[in-house]
Structure 1
Amino acid sequence: MKAVLCKAYGPASSLSLEETTDPVAGDNEVVIDVHAAGVNFPDTLIIEGKYQVKPEFPFSPGGEAAGVVASVGARVKHLKPGDRVMGLTGYGSFAEKVKADASRVLPMPDDMDYVTAAGFSMTYGTSMHALVQRGQLQPGETLLVLGASGGVGLAAVEIGKAMGARVIAAASSDEKLEVARKAGADELINYSEGDFKEKVKQLTGGKGADVIYDPVGGNLFDQCMRCINWKGRLLVVGFASGRIPELPVNLALLKGASVVGVFWGAFATREPQANLDNFRQLFQWHSEGKLKPLVSQTFELDQYEAALNTLSTRQAVGKIVIKTR
């Protein structure tokens, strides 16, 4: 099979597309013939050795895939060869075949195509876990979403609306905000213009947001701690800005607020039933038309460098997907 290989840590330009051996399923694993692979921010980190997971060399990036089951391990009962599936692989999906733990692979809904499914698991799984289990978002509350035109941010806007929240979308340009508006955002903030904190307060009657979804970090996190409502929940999703912020704990005390970590991959492993329940709800909302995943660009497997660079330079709107066949 062909696979994008990382043989030493470095930028996307250091990767190579090569012929390599097919994966073999262990007892609790499945091998998937990959039709499409989602491109996510962790993919840009794992190839540079900056991610929590550090696979042995050589490895392929690509944390999620959609395709057809090629083979299953001896203990796998809920999947069989020929099933259309989607799942979280951790890494390895920028290839024609990938193996994955069977517990992290789900049958695809009948009304979903491979490209959509490849861009669904990580973004919607992360945002659903963030808003349901970690943020405990309630109908009528105000949800502030940073990076609202990106993969996880756009998913958070849609899920927030489906849960009955008032959604304020924040992004770095009017073009990106228009994408969030089309996804259902009630209010828009361009945080490249003026005082972000004051704009949030103006839109919330001076109270601040009840739940803040932050995949950006950096200076915006610092401002979020100053525009959060009493008993608010600030969800730490990622650090796309490049700077991991430090928390002024006195602000958490003064606001009675919580700063809550979101690590969907660990949640999916530790609480598989709760994760499955989340996806059942997500699939229902998708079939009802409440979730409309936006895949803004697709690339062929040999265009992996362009795909990764589009994401790392923050040019992506919605989701980017690599098609492998």
Structure 2
Amino acid sequence: MKAAVLNTFGAPLDIQNLSDPVLGTGEVIVDVAAAGIASYAANIFNGSRNYLLELPVVPGPGGVGRVRATGPDATKLKPGDWVYVDSTIRSRDDIANPEQILLGWTYRTPAALPLHRHYHHGSFAEQMLVPTENATPIGRIEAADAGRWAALSRLLVPFGGLLAGGLQAGETLVVNGATGGFGGAGVAVALAMGAGRVIATGRSARTLENLAWRFGPRVRTVQFTGDEAHDRQSIGDAAGGPIDMVLDFLPREASAAQVRSAVLAVRLGGRVILMGGLRGEEGNLGLNYNWLMHNETTVRGVWMYGKDAIPRMVQMIRAGLIDLGQFELTEFALDDANEAVAHAAANAGPRQLTVLRPDRGGALPN
């Protein structure tokens, strides 16, 4: 099979021919049709993100494709089925506390290294091998639409956070960091779930204005000024009432003050879901014990999403609650993987979706 291989951090992806994956019990081989490319992929490939990743590797966390072959224990999946491949692979020998990896992307702890070595290559290839439970049927689609269905990887992450936080219809939600890919998708998903009002925060006035224009009066925006007290007041004013929940997607470059500006605005008994990327000293949020206790606030970290989120999101798309046409899609052939990574970095807004199409050869028209 043809694949884009990362041989050395800082080097371009190398298009190579690799051996086809070998099927085992409890596994599925998928012919990859479309794989989304994260805006920060270049920073993983150059080593600046310091992700745990053993090289050489075919990167690519998940995607959309068709089943090529199943193991002898598969009961429903069959060759030809369209599936979404979930990148989160969990070990099977400790259900209570499993090790976890993101296929072709990173392993979380050294104990997960055996899992990373077995399920090593991701979706920047014509085929990939995954556990059976990581291939979820999405129903019949046109091959030409596979790139749009790759948006599942963008939508599922905030959906996982909203499910974990128990968002209810009519509630007021703050999406903190709504101008990024996952945050912008979080606005769309929250509205589809029935949120009464969504407060979208961020630094880019133009992106915030676009969110408000696209989604209508249920979305209100707050541009960060850097003054924590002022920003918190602005969030409260935009809400116009109690804030039930905060979904935080602030990136590594953000500050703890930006997180607190939203967290401390929640109502008595409010919920806070942390899914962002703060690191180092900025990761120390400085939340007051006494305030958390008296305000009865639930603060929860969420990594990715549960398996049940995938069929539920597919149902929402099929029902028309989520419009895959909201994304500005740009597709690249596998041979142009490096150009695709550069394009994703330069087009990192909430509407932009860069997709690699291993099912097509040669250059693709934009």
Q: CA deviation at 1:59?
A: 0.8
For these two proteins, the number of residue pairs brought into alignment is 310
CA distance in 2, matches of 1:34, 1:247: 40
Question: 1:74: which partner in 2?
Answer: 72
1:188 maps to what in 2?
221
> Among 242, 246, 249, which residue is 1:215 paired with?
249
Query: Secondary structure of 2:189's partner?
Result: helix
| Contact 1:225–1:252 (Cα < 8 Å) also in 2 | no
- Establish whether residue 108 from structure 1 lines up as the match of residue 138 from structure 2: yes
1:307 maps to 2:345: no
CA deviation vs aligned residue, 1:116-144 (integer Å, no higher than 9, x gap): 22221x22222222111x21112222111
Which aligned segments of 4 or more residues in structure 1 are displaced greater than 6 angstroms?
240-243
Change beyond 3 A, Cα 1:49–1:315: closer
- Structure 2: gaps of 5 or more residues: 88-102, 105-121, 361-366
Selected match of 1:279 from 302, 310, 334: 310
Correspondence 1:309-324 to 2 at 5 A: 309-312=342-345, 315-318=348-351, 319-324=353-358
Distance 1:228 1:307 in 2: 40
Q: RMSD of aligned C-alpha atoms?
A: 2.8
Within 1, Cα distance between the matches of 2:56 and 2:78? 29
In the alignment, what sits opposite 1:271? none
- For 1:196, give the aligned amino acid: D
Q: State the distance in 2 between where 1:173 and 1:6 align.
A: 33
Shift of 1:21: 1.6
Q: 1:150 to 1:301 in 2, by over 3 A?
A: farther
Shift of 1:62: 0.7
Q: Is the 8 A contact 2:174 2:247 kept in 1?
A: yes
Measure the CA separation in 2 of the matches of 1:19 and 1:234: 46
Cα offset, 1:114, TM superposition: 0.8
Q: Distance in 1 between matches of 2:84 and 2:59?
A: 16
In 1, the alpha carbon distance for the partners of 2:49 and 2:240 equals 40
Identity %: 28
Contact 1:119 1:320 in 2 (8 A): no
CA deviation digits over 1:246-303, x for unaligned, max 9? 1223153453322211112xx53xxxxxx33x33332222122210133323233233
The 5 A counterparts of 1:195-274 are: 195-205=230-240, 207=242, 209-217=243-251, 218-219=254-255, 220-239=258-277, 245-250=283-288, 251-253=291-293, 255-264=295-304, 268=306
Q: TM-score, normalised by structure 2?
A: 0.75
Q: Distance in 2 between matches of 1:51 and 1:40?
A: 16
Q: SS where residue 18 of structure 1 aligns?
A: strand
Whole-angstrom distance in 1 between the partners of 2:79 and 2:295: 53
Return the match for 1:129 from 135, 160, 165. Answer: 160
Whole-Å separation in 2 of the counterparts to 1:123 and 1:106: 16
Deviates more, 1:87-96 or 1:43-52: 43-52
User: Greater CA deviation, 219-228 or 59-68?
Assistant: 219-228
C-alpha contact 1:43 1:61 (8 A) present in aligned 2: no
Q: Could you tell me how far 1:41 is from its partner in structure 2?
A: 5.7
Q: Report the Cα offset of residue 153 of structure 1.
A: 1.9
Cα separation, partners in 2 of 1:249 and 1:168, compared to 1, 3 Å: closer
User: Given the two structures, how large is their TM-score scaled by the length of structure 1?
Assistant: 0.83
- AA at the equivalent of 2:211: A
